[in-house]
Amino acid sequence: MNAVNPSGWRPAAPARAADAPESPTATGDRGLMLEEKLIFELGGWDQTGVDIEDVEGEVLGSLSGHLRAEKPALPGLSEPETVRHYTRLSRQNYAIDLGPFPLGSCTMKHNPRLNEKIARLPGFADIHPLQPTGTVQGALECINELAFWLMDLTGMHGVAMSPKAGAHGELCGILCIRAALEARGDSREVVLVPESAHGTNPATAAFANYRVEAIPATKDGRVDLAALKDRLGPDVAAVMITNPNTCGLFEPDMKAISDAVHEAGGFVYCDGANFNAIVGKVRPGDLGIDAMHINLHKTFSTPHGGGGPGSGPVVLSEALSPFGPLPYTARTNDGVVHLVEEEQADAFSEEHFGGVMRSFGRMAAFHGQMGMFTRALTYMLSHGADGLARVAEDSVLNANYILRSLEDLLDAPYAHSGPCMHEALFSDAGLAEGFSTLDIAKGLIDEGFHPMTVYFPLVVHGAMLVEPTETESKDGLDRLIVALRSVAERAKAGDEALHSAPHFTPRRRVDETQAARKPVLVWNGDPAPSGQPVPSEIGGR
């Protein structure tokens, strides 16, 4: 009889390090909550999960002298191992599919699966940006159709589709303003930005070589119109305003602000990140705004998987429209949609726009986030003009419901200013000594919710900005309110357990200071278990 296991080898239980964190199990796993190693600790240097068709032939002179000395030191996993690795990791994430993301000014709402299905149609997903335009008429029609929705919803004259995210859209808007000013020989140097603005606004203006000056806020959380008017002058290129603003309030003086800026020869940029609160209710064009980016991924939903991608088209007033970026789409009377690139921009402008189109140039290699365009258009068509107005109404209703359900317990600095828009702002005033916004946020995690935006806007000490969005049900809001009330009461009573929250997550409170003090940005451990990286078999030197 043959010995079944002649070497006698058996897997051994992992040795527990003396300083290993307390865990009741040998693996560190707890039931369905699995500790997942890094791919560099799981994979083998020779392992692969892809079967690649071999082609006859040798690598010859066409590469000689350029071959890499060793194949890339990247571990591979088989297909089943790969599926498990990423599925296990996914279970350590909070996501909108699990519950609300009440992050103010970040707007994360239900992501309809129809959008995903449409974006994956080969006619949209599997087309190349440089295909002959005759072979992509449907895609160009889609962009054109979306462009007209955006112009109609905002009451604006033109739209630039190519910006790749909200901050890229801001840059586009500011570049349009700069180009328009330069076209009239005006070299203004200053951009005014209210204190409450998103940090991207001043960063954008600085990146476009403008000097940034702050405009203070009034006691009720709005732009100080008098201070703004005082500062306006021949050196001010633009004012960047967020409306609805980051205190969750509409700027009722918007038209007066626009008129004053225009009178002084400048332009008005509006940060449109919060457009979902007013879509279908008011058109920014009617308020005198010259340029506004629209986060398609926020107002019109796109998944945003863990931080992006986004998409930031910019709607433009008549004065700024000629200066938008290349390429752009234009439909001619014969029904053809053209993609106007450097190649024919001048001739096209001459023939169809009387030569007025004077693009400031290209902002990115190709023409924008097609994958987001299809999702946004699908979402718009599903809602329609009536449904989009209801989006704004329900998002505002939900936010005010949160505000009024909590203002007796949590300090709400602008609750007296009237209704809020899509987000409700609270502060940490009135909590027990030593307790702060962070404790509320981490306590909320133990209750099963993603926390609200914390410590923003900067104009409010210990700010908490709660944005429920319109896709939350009343039951869902009530659960969130119960959780927030409970945590707030504990923070007011000085419950020490909050200081070490969260307690029930895959990881306890994470040490952010150590990460920043001694940055470890790549894995530098020992090679993978199956051995050292080997020189490439494809040598040929």
Partner 1 sequence: MRYLPLTAENRAEMLGVIGADTVDDLFTDVPEAARLKGPIEGLPLHASELAVERHMTRLAAKNLSAGAAPFFLGAGAYRHHVPASVDHLIQRGEFLTAYTPYQPEIAQGTLQVLFEFQTQVARLFGTDIANASLYDGSTACWEAIAMAGRITRRKKAVLSGALHPHYVATIKTMAKFTGDEIADAQPTVAPEPDEAGLIGRIDDATAAVVVQYPDILGRIGNLQTIAEAAHAKGALLIAVVTEPVALGLIEAPGKLGADIVVGEGQSLGVGLNFGGPYLGLFGCREKFVRQMPGRLCGETVDAQGKRSFVLTLSTREQHIRREKATSNICTNSGLCALAFSIHMTLLGGTGLARLAKTNHLRARQLADRLSGIPGIALVNSTYFNEFCVKLPTDAREVVRALADRGILGGVSLGRLYPDYEAIHGGLLVTATETTTTEDIEALAGALEDILAGEAA
- Please give the residues from 321 up to 380 whose contact with partner 1 meets the rule CB under 8 A: 325-326, 341-344, 360-372, 374, 377-378
- Which parts of 442-471 interact with partner 1 (CB under 8 A)? 442, 445, 450-451, 456, 470-471
**275 scored as a contact of partner 1 (CB under 8 A):** no
Query: According to the binding rule CB under 8 A, does residue 77 interact with partner 1?
Result: yes
User: Residues in contact with partner 1, total (CB under 8 A)?
Assistant: 209
Give the separation between CA 137 and CA 135, rounded to whole angstroms. Answer: 6
Binding region for partner 1 (CB under 8 A) out of 7-15, 226-234, 482-490, 510-518:
510-518
Residue 423, number of CB atoms within 10 A of its CB: 32
Residues in the chain: 541
Name the one range near partner 1 by CB under 8 A: 39-47, 229-237, 264-272, 313-321. 39-47
CB of 7 to partner 1, least distance (A): 27
Question: How would you class 516 by CB atoms within 10 Å of its CB: exposed for 0-12, middle for 13-18, buried for 19 or more?
Answer: exposed
Alpha carbon of 131 to those of 119, 127, 134, 136, 138: distances in Å?
Answer: 18, 7, 8, 7, 13
137 near partner 1, judged by CB under 8 A? yes
Q: Which position among 27, 218, 500, 532 is part of the footprint of partner 1 (CB under 8 A)?
A: 500
Q: Which listed residue (226, 356, 510, 532) binds partner 1 by CB under 8 A?
A: 510
- Report 149-178 residues binding partner 1 (CB under 8 A): 149, 152-153, 164-168, 170-171, 175, 178
Least Å from the CB of residue 350 to partner 1: 15
CA 487 to chain centre: 28
Q: Does 299 bind partner 1 (CB under 8 A)?
A: no
The answer to the question of residue 313 lying near partner 1 (CB under 8 A) is no
List, in sequence order, every residue forming a beta bridge with 291; answer none if it has no partner: 269, 316
Measure the CA angle with vertex 286, ends 359 and 356; round to 5°. 20
Cis peptide preceding 303, ω within 30 of 0: no
Taking the least distance from each CB to partner 1, the nearer of 7 and 386 is 386
Burial of 263 (0-12, 13-18, 19+ CB in 10 A): exposed
Find where tokens 């009573």 sit: 493
Distance in Å, CB of 10 to partner 1, minimum: 28
Query: Binding of partner 1 at residue 52 (CB under 8 A)?
Result: yes
**Closest separation between CB of residue 166 and partner 1, Å?**
7
Phi, psi of 271 (to 5 degrees): -75, 115
Q: Does 425 bind partner 1 (CB under 8 A)?
A: no
Single out the residue of 40, 409, 436, 462 in contact with partner 1 (rule: CB under 8 A).
40
Counting beta carbons within 10 angstroms of the beta carbon of residue 441, is it exposed (0 to 12), middle (13 to 18) or buried (19 or more)? buried
Shortest distance in whole angstroms from residue 510 CB to partner 1: 4
Q: What is the closest distance, in whole angstroms, from the C-beta atom of residue 333 to partner 1 in the complex?
A: 19
Q: Please state the separation of Cα 200 from the chain's center in Å.
A: 12
CB of 177 to partner 1, least distance (A): 10
